[in-house]
Structure 1
Amino acid sequence: MRTDEKVDLLIAGGGLGGCAAAMAACSRGLKVIMTEETDWIGGQVTSQGVPPDEHRWIEEFGCTRRYRDYRDKVRETYRNNLNPREQKEQLNPGNGLVSNICHDPRVTLHVLNEMLLPHLLTGRLQILRSTRVVSVKKEGNKLQTMTLLNVAAGTKKDVDARYYIDATEAGDILPLAGMNYVTGAESKEETGEPHAVEKADPSDIQAFTYVLGMEYREGEDHTIPEPNMYSFWRDFHPEIWPDKLLSFFAPHPITKEKRKYTLIREEEGFPLWEYRRIFDGSQFDLDSGSGEVTLMNWPQNDYFLGNVYDVPEEEKGRNLYQGKQLSLSLLYWLQTEAPRPDGGKGYPGLKLRKDLFETEDGLAKAPYIRESRRIKAEYTVVEQDVSPDFNGGPAGRKFADRVGIGSYSIDLHPSMAGRNYLDIKALPFYIPMGALIPKDADNLLAGCKNIGTTHITNGCFRLHPVEWNIGEACGTLAAFCIERDVKPKEVRKDQALVEMFQQELKEDGFELEWPFES
């Protein structure tokens, strides 16, 4: 087969995991190509518009040094380009409720490009935007070649790499390489998880969401044209929902009871506006009259009527379109029909900020996909590894081959099989190396949400700092294996190599211990 280029490492996917993998691998001298389907790197925090979901200790510990540098650079960007009224060490640009660092997706785009720039300037890294993998040649357990398609130009190139990382949002390399993988929910018999379903259901996949950004300008009218599917979504009342989807009521994620939401903060109800607010102008001395800006990633625009992978292209296209129509319909409903506390209807001052994502329709460049295809891994993390019901200490199972730490509750959104939320406690956890290594490939690593978790544990492993840690560990492991001419499985099986690798991780700023563990 013709080969256009040879590199040490090819990273498919330029999200947080892919970018972190590239930083780690390039810093160790590897020659790397990273692809990205959109024209923005950064994945869930940029092209998908989801501000960082993080744990309560994130300002002190619980992430890699590079992730902490990234967070510091986000704040530094605001300080350098705007004028904060107060010099807060922990500046939260949006004063959003979901994170201590709710911010504009374009800021992370700037920061990631800056962090990767040294590797671009030295020629160690190529970033191929608007590019995806369209075919994979695999012989036995070894991936040989990937064919890349530049979607904008319509050109293809074949790349050979010594190692590959699948950091795509949906584990796209797995079917292309003919590998074994899992989708949806495993059965209780398979995993022994208390909250698993009785019968495995590959279609039991969490909703995806098309995010949009909006600014509120009181007294102005920015009503968008009525979306094509507005009448459908306005009247849609899912069986698992306590009211119409386009309403200020939804199931409480934990109790499933009817929960009241509000747009702007009221005496009762959860304030959606503040939830993922990314710009609070009152914190800055500004010449312009900029309003507050928030991102719409709410219960009301979770799309769970169909999936976007492992389905025919026509069905994928239909679900992407309907997901976009749902988000636009929610905005139109808010502008025209949403009940206000004063008895009126609608907030026409809500302005769709098309500039946030640089898209014609104002929606994020890509849907936020919560649940990916998942590798059949050397080790699969199950509920028992992270549940307080199965672990007596302050943290979950402490794997001997751990390559990082993370923390989040098990948070599953409504699924395409008609199941409701599952939101249960999880202890601070450890990331096992075995979860990054597929059983049926020797030179491929999982660098995103496609690692060896179950449907349930995906709910706590899919968040920003964990994805970053996973990707960064994969980039480091690929370099470690190339330097020593060993395979990832061989590293994991040799405790001396595991400890050598862990020492290198710690020297590079990885945290492998929770400080409160005795």
Structure 2
Amino acid sequence: MKKNDIRRFIRLNTFSRLTLPIILLSQSILPATALNKNHIKPDETVNCEILIVGGGLAGVASAYESLLAGRTVCLTEITDWVGGQITSQGTSALDEGEKQRSLNYFPRGYQILRSGIERLYGQLNPGNCWVSHSCFIPKDAQQILFQELQWAARQGNGQLKWFPSTVVKELEISADGDQINGVMAIQHTPKPGQPPINSFPLSKIYQDAYRYEDSPQLSKKVIHFVPKTPLRKGPADWYVIEATETGEVIALADVPYRLGLDPRSALNPSSPTDTSNPYCTQGFTYTFAMEQTKTPVFQEEPPFYAKYKAYYGYDPNPSKANFDYVFTYRRIWNPTPGKLMQFGGVKFTEPMPGDISMQNWEWGNDYRPGTSLDNLIYSRQQLQETGQLKSGNWMGGLRQETLRKGEEHALGYYYWLVEGTTDSQLGDGVKKPYPNHILLKGLDSPMGTLHGLSKYPYIREARRIIGRFSGDYPDGFAINELDISAKDYFNIHYRDAIPMSMYYDVWRQVTRLEIFTKGVQPISQMQYTRRTSATPFADGVGITQYSMDFHPCMANSPPEAPGNREREDVRWGYAPTYPAQIPLRAMIPQKIDNLLVAGKTIATSHIAAAAFRVQSFEWAVGAAAGTTADFALKKGIFPYQLVEDNSEHSSDLLELRQKLENNGNPTHFPEYELGRK
């Protein structure tokens, strides 16, 4: 890794837990112009070489590499924090694959983040949590990340134009439909005399944020993003990078994508359905932080608690039915370590007054809708039915009512933790009250909100593009279950649950041998060598490793209904994975040539996406997107030309991969580690 980059960054930046200034870098303002279709006059026209929509970890990584390359970068974010998962979504515990962590094999910017956490606290795990090697305060991570971006701008002589509290509203597509020529966005701020941003949960302002007009609460600024001109070196004047949490630009551009469950196939044999289901996505979570106190605190029962309490429980496994076990699981602050304890085979230190825990618990604040009546992310059909795909009608593509119920559900879970005596999984007599706690609220609280919930829900699954067609991928490219899974497919479930012809096809994929031929009785699969590594990709531009882990949707609506259950067999996809590559073709959508996709919206199946959603993955794919956009601008080519069949740009692809490697962004694991789980 580029250790000199890490040392240089740390030397030039000193971190304080109290405050770090956030500076809005200068904006290039051009005369206002009218948008042809709707005659909306922007308040500002801002030019960029690279526009990144979404300030989560993938967006930050894209910006970081683009700034180091000297680019003018515009970065928008619906909240007022960069960092996504580990900041505005509150899941400030780094989920890392054991093999990748043991090798310390991460992108350079992610390494700097980890070093920044360690320098700030004097240790990598100030929460002394046991789910991860690093749990920390979300608002501190936001400060570290923003300084990392500022440092990259100085170091690379780039320019960062940061647009917090900003949403994308419209795309201007070229006449031939191949490029995004401009983007209209809306930035909101509180009107004078109104409460500050983050006073209310997201659902209270969500639809308001997507309206051009001012409201009683919010003032709006309409911003027109356009290419920085004149470039004229190649076919594209700029690049747009989709890094939103749910794939907003994908939906707006109306490029082909998938959502929810995929049909069972030889490439995804663990799918629980023979047909697609866009409504059953993984659960989302509003996280919160709670602090242990020396004495009991009065806990006021929320008026909606009775509606949700039938859902809450420790876990179906009794070995997880322990408050201290749950509290320390994602403890993010532990100033005074207590005595060593053990429960369910896990060792942790006893919670002490002053300890802060971030809650992200499956049978707690996970909200898991799975039907067309309550799904969070609207399908394409639902977007059409609600008119959101018509010009100027985009409203974010999420169901506001489900956001609201997810917020109530999370606040109800806090009350259950401290006062509840029921348990949906293990029955009565297991759960006891623990009133010595407070929900941390306030603009200076770990979540940075007056209500105590995260600014945005933690999103585990989003719209996923379908990559371009090729000879090897006639249905469009995607990373599938069999590309990364280390599962034993001799399991009796597969022999009994899927058609025999499909089972044989699974083994063709697993062994990579054509062992079955038409009209010939297949011999025992046991005679063939099983696959021992992930699928290698010649266009690998990043690395990742994490188990395919699921938080399934609930079978019925509403998800909190008494007696409701998870969608059956979704968890069959769970498996450890081999160290894997992120192929460039997974980031290239159909139709639009100057759009790159980063984050959890790349081309994967539902099952593979369960492994392609953690923090180090997001950084790796974001770094690849930023580097590729810069490379394409310099070379005067489109990214798809690097991966198309019989490409004349194969040498350019090698050059891009070498550039990533030279910059400390690995494109593959060491060869001797590829077959290790």
Q: TM-score range by the shorter chain?
A: 0.7 to 0.9
Q: Tell me, yes or no, if structure 1 residue 75 matches structure 2 residue 118.
A: yes
Secondary structure of the 2:453 match is coil
User: What is the CA distance between 1:359 and its match in structure 2?
Assistant: 1.2
Q: Tell me, yes or no, if structure 1 residue 349 matches structure 2 residue 436.
A: yes
Q: Tell me, yes or no, if structure 1 residue 372 matches structure 2 residue 462.
A: yes
CA distance in 2, matches of 1:113, 1:59: 27
Distance change in 2, residues 1:39/1:215 (3 Å):
same
Tell me the alpha carbon deviations over residues 414-451 of structure 1, each in whole angstroms, 9 at most, x when there is no partner: 11555255222221211111101112210001111100
Distance change in 2, residues 1:480/1:356 (3 Å):
same
User: What is the CA distance between 1:321 and its match in structure 2?
Assistant: 1.2
State the match for 1:403 in structure 2: 541
Tell me the alpha carbon deviations over residues 147-175 of structure 1, each in whole angstroms, 9 at most, x when there is no partner: 01002231101111310000000000112
CA distance in 1, matches of 2:250, 2:422: 46
State the match for 2:567 in structure 1: 419
Secondary structure of the 2:643 match is helix
CA distance in 2, matches of 1:338, 1:94: 27
CA distance in 2, matches of 1:382, 1:65: 27
CA distance in 2, matches of 1:304, 1:202: 14
CA distance in 2, matches of 1:272, 1:53: 17
CA distance in 2, matches of 1:294, 1:214: 5
Does the 8 A contact of 1:248 with 1:260 survive in 2? no
Does the 8 A contact of 1:339 with 1:346 survive in 2? no
CA distance in 1, matches of 2:625, 2:168: 19
Q: Tell me, yes or no, if structure 1 residue 330 matches structure 2 residue 405.
A: no
Q: Tell me, yes or no, if structure 1 residue 17 matches structure 2 residue 58.
A: yes
Secondary structure of the 1:457 match is helix
1:86-485 to structure 2, matched below 5 A, reads 91-119=124-152, 124-139=159-174, 140-152=177-189, 153-161=219-227, 162-189=238-265, 192-196=267-271, 197-223=273-299, 225-234=300-309, 236=310, 245-250=311-316, 258-265=317-324, 271-282=325-336, 291-300=354-363, 301-305=365-369, 306-310=374-378, 316-338=399-421, 345-354=432-441, 355-378=445-468, 379-388=477-486, 389=488, 390=510, 392=530, 394-415=532-553, 418-419=566-567, 422=571, 423-485=574-636
Does the 8 A contact of 1:338 with 1:347 survive in 2? no
Does the 8 A contact of 2:63 with 2:626 survive in 1? yes
Secondary structure of the 1:11 match is strand
User: What is the CA distance between 1:282 and its match in structure 2?
Assistant: 2.2
CA distance in 2, matches of 1:75, 1:318: 40
Q: Tell me, yes or no, if structure 1 residue 66 matches structure 2 residue 121.
A: no
State the match for 2:86 in structure 1: 45
State the match for 2:502 in structure 1: none
Does the 8 A contact of 1:394 with 1:517 survive in 2? no
Match of 1:55 among 97, 103, 108: 97
User: What is the CA distance between 1:320 and its match in structure 2?
Assistant: 1.0
Does the 8 A contact of 2:83 with 2:141 survive in 1? yes
Tell me the alpha carbon deviations over residues 166-189 of structure 1, each in whole angstroms, 9 at most, x when there is no partner: 000000011212222111111124
State the match for 1:36 in structure 2: 77
Does the 8 A contact of 2:596 with 2:625 survive in 1? yes
Does the 8 A contact of 2:73 with 2:161 survive in 1? yes
Which amino acid counterpart does residue 438 of structure 2 have in structure 1?
Answer: K
Does the 8 A contact of 2:57 with 2:622 survive in 1? yes
Secondary structure of the 1:449 match is helix
CA distance in 1, matches of 2:431, 2:278: 45
CA distance in 1, matches of 2:465, 2:587: 8
Which amino acid counterpart does residue 75 of structure 1 have in structure 2?
Answer: E
Secondary structure of the 1:173 match is helix
CA distance in 2, matches of 1:131, 1:158: 12
Distance change in 2, residues 1:480/1:348 (3 Å):
same
Tell me the alpha carbon deviations over residues 463-493 of structure 1, each in whole angstroms, 9 at most, x when there is no partner: 0000110011000000000000000011223
Distance change in 2, residues 1:114/1:177 (3 Å):
same
Does the 8 A contact of 2:97 with 2:547 survive in 1? no
Number of aligned residue pairs: 481
CA distance in 2, matches of 1:344, 1:373: 38
Which amino acid counterpart does residue 304 of structure 1 have in structure 2?
Answer: R
User: What is the CA distance between 1:21 and its match in structure 2?
Assistant: 0.2
Secondary structure of the 1:125 match is strand
Secondary structure of the 2:247 match is coil
User: What is the CA distance between 1:517 and its match in structure 2?
Assistant: 3.6
Does the 8 A contact of 2:67 with 2:153 survive in 1? no
Gaps of 5+ in 1: 80-87, 237-244, 251-257, 266-270
CA distance in 2, matches of 1:155, 1:364: 25
Does the 8 A contact of 1:396 with 1:429 survive in 2? yes
CA distance in 2, matches of 1:280, 1:358: 19
CA distance in 1, matches of 2:531, 2:262: 27
Compare the two structures and name the one with the higher strand fraction: 1
Does the 8 A contact of 1:120 with 1:126 survive in 2? no
Does the 8 A contact of 2:46 with 2:224 survive in 1? yes
CA distance in 2, matches of 1:315, 1:509: 37
CA distance in 2, matches of 1:425, 1:274: 24
Tell me the alpha carbon deviations over residues 231-253 of structure 1, each in whole angstroms, 9 at most, x when there is no partner: 1111x3xxxxxxxx212233xxx
Does the 8 A contact of 2:280 with 2:375 survive in 1? no
Does the 8 A contact of 1:166 with 1:173 survive in 2? yes
Q: Percent identity?
A: 31
Does the 8 A contact of 1:222 with 1:350 survive in 2? no
Secondary structure of the 1:95 match is coil
CA distance in 2, matches of 1:325, 1:166: 30
Give the alignment's Cα RMSD to 1 decimal. 2.4
Distance change in 2, residues 1:384/1:455 (3 Å):
same
Distance change in 2, residues 1:164/1:344 (3 Å):
closer
User: What is the CA distance between 1:502 and its match in structure 2?
Assistant: 0.6
Q: TM-score, normalised by structure 2?
A: 0.68
User: What is the CA distance between 1:330 and its match in structure 2?
Assistant: 1.1
